[in-house]
Amino acid sequence: MAEVIFNKLEKVYSNGFKAVHAIDLKIAEGEFMVIVGPSGCAKSTTLRMLAGLETISGGEVRIGEKIVNNLAPKERGIAMVFQNYALYPHMTVRENLAFGLKLSKMPKAQIDAQVNEAAKILELEELLDRLPRQLSGGQAQRVAVGRAIVKKPDVFLFDEPLSNLDAKLRASMRIRISDLHKQLKKSGKPATTVYVTHDQTEAMTMGDRICVMKLGHIMQVDTPDNLYHKPKNMFVAGFIGAPEMNIRATKLVDQAGRLALSIGNETMPLSETLHNNVVDHASQDVFYGIRPEFVSVSDEPFAEGSCSGELVRVENMGHEFFMYLKVAEYELTARIPSDEAKPMIEKGLHRKVYFKFDMNKCHIFDAKTELNISI
Ligand SMILES: Nc1ncnc2c1ncn2[C@@H]1O[C@H](COP(=O)(O)OP(=O)(O)O)[C@@H](O)[C@H]1O
Ligand SMILES: [Mg+2]
């Protein structure tokens, strides 16, 4: 049994800097939890406290039934994979894989069996006699993952393990690590996994749930789908999704009993549901948030709810275009399927076009608290 629990976990570095602010997090046994956030938000600090590589300043870390605050790393039932692989340069792949097991005084036959099993899972069999310097980055990282697997830990910890790899390898390693997790689960030996990354694609594709951090605070813990469609605050809304959600200051203006977004000199009425959710905030300063795929663009005004802007820039993504509209003092991004975008683009840039939002997908954030007041 190895659920992982942070209870008011804190880190204050020796220079007095508080990196982690009393965070609470419960990771279920066998869950794949991704911790994501921008550089410096304390992902590594948090993971290192879980691993026992950094002292805990306040609160507690539990693994399974045990409070592990004062246990050494090797007593915690964890295995960690780092960004820089951290392989022993003078040992072969086989020796690297076996090293941790030898230290634990495991019988040789069992070590061989576990090394061979890991080598098979990660397709390292051909590489077992090579030294780390004879490996590509992707191969070295597979060995690093293998070294974690052979320990058969209760909890796998990953700290940006793919950051040193090129985009293509990253994508294939992502799938490999996800598959490995599923495989262990299926075989009845689920490994709780805590995976740290700054890359939202990794977070969205790998996590059962994702914990979004900002400056040592947890902003939201949720499924990928909920983070995307129901972000609790402006930070999560802006961090998850590429291209980014359009988040712009606006006012909720009353138009004959129905609230509307004020956009430049124009307005766009809210849907009934959205109106009902935010009606208490009439005439307040708020931000609206709309993802680029929920913005429609047209040469002609829409039947209702149109606003207008200037088409200033387009980017061809192949299957779709990103269209950039200048609206009042800001720009909006729209993601438009190619078939729809091409006829508009052929008419040229720097002209008036019309846009509207899918109001069922529009978020409203309180300007002061930055909380999503529309869900
Ligand atoms: N040994 C240290 N002493 C003081 N501050 C540190 C130390 N290590 C990290 N920090 C600070 O703690 C914050 C979190 O760092 P880190 O956990 O490495 O972030 P992340 O992994 O999310 O990029 C940063 O502001 C960083 O500068
Ligand atoms: Mg880090």
Q: Counting ligands in written order, which one lies closest to the CA of residue 38?
A: 1
**228-282 tens-digit pLDDT:** 999 999 999 999 999 999 999 999 999 989 999 999 999 999 999 999 999 999 8
Does 41 contact ligand 1 (Cβ within 6 A)?
yes
Lowest mean pLDDT segment, chosen from 14-18, 56-60, 195-199, 283-287: 283-287
**295-318 tens-digit pLDDT:** 999 999 999 899 999 999 999 999
pLDDT, position 73: 94
Does 13 contact ligand 1 (Cβ within 6 A)?
yes
Q: Counting ligands in written order, which one lies closest to the CA of residue 159?
A: 2
Cis amide prior to 243 (ω within 30 degrees): yes
In the 3-class helix/strand/coil scheme, how is the chain assigned residue by residue? Answer: CCCEEEEEEEEECCCCCEEEEEEEEEECCCCEEEEECCCCCCHHHHHHHHHCCCCCCEEEEEECCEECCCCCHHHCCEEEECCCCCCCCCCCHHHHHHHHHHHCCCCHHHHHHHHHHHHHHCCCHHHCCCCHHHCCHHHHHHHHHHHHHHCCCCEEEEECCCCCCCHHHHHHHHHHHHHHHHHHHHCCCCCEEEEEECCHHHHHHHCCEEEEEECCEEEEEECHHHHHHCCCEHHHHHHCCCCCCEEEEEEEEEECCEEEEEECCEEEECCHHHHHHHHHHCCCEEEEEECHHHEEEECCCCCCCCEEEEEEEEEECCCEEEEEEEECCEEEEEEEEHHHHHHHHHCCCCCEEEEEECHHHCEEEECCCCEECCC
Q: Which two tokens stand for residue 144?
A: 């690093």
Q: CA-CA distance, 23 to 8, in Å (whole number)?
A: 5
Q: CA-CA distance, 370 to 287, in Å (whole number)?
A: 8
Beta bridge partners of residue 269, listed in sequence order: 260
**Residues 289 and 237 sit within 8 Å (Cβ to Cβ):** yes
**213-230 tens-digit pLDDT:** 999 999 999 999 999 999
**158-208 tens-digit pLDDT:** 999 999 889 988 999 999 999 999 998 998 888 999 999 999 999 999 999
Q: CA-CA distance, 97 to 145, in Å (whole number)?
A: 9
Q: Which atom of ligand 1 is nearest to the CA of 196?
A: 21
**Residues 51 and 78 sit within 8 Å (Cβ to Cβ):** yes
**116 has a pLDDT exceeding 90:** yes
pLDDT, position 83: 85
Q: CA-CA distance, 145 to 177, in Å (whole number)?
A: 8
**Residues 291 and 241 sit within 8 Å (Cβ to Cβ):** yes
pLDDT, averaged across the chain:
95
Does 44 contact ligand 1 (Cβ within 6 A)?
yes
Mean pLDDT of 87-107: 93
> How close is the Cα of 53 to the center of ligand 2, in Å?
13
Q: Which atom of ligand 1 is nearest to the CA of 15?
A: 4
Q: CA-CA distance, 218 to 127, in Å (whole number)?
A: 41
Does 43 contact ligand 1 (Cβ within 6 A)?
yes
**How many alpha carbons fall within 13 Å on the CB side of residue 99?**
17
Our CA dihedral for 14, 16, 20, 24, rounded to 10 degrees, sits at 90
**333 has a pLDDT exceeding 90:** yes
**56 has a pLDDT exceeding 70:** yes
**Residues 25 and 211 sit within 8 Å (Cβ to Cβ):** yes
> With pLDDT > 70 as the criterion, what percentage of the chain qualifies?
100
**1 has a pLDDT exceeding 70:** no
pLDDT, position 104: 85
**Domains plus CATH for the chain?**
4-239 (3.40.50.300), 246-366 (2.40.50.100)
Total residue length of the chain: 375
Mention every residue, 6+ apart, whose C-beta is less than 8 A from residue 366: 281, 284, 286, 373
pLDDT, position 187: 87
Does 15 contact ligand 1 (Cβ within 6 A)?
yes
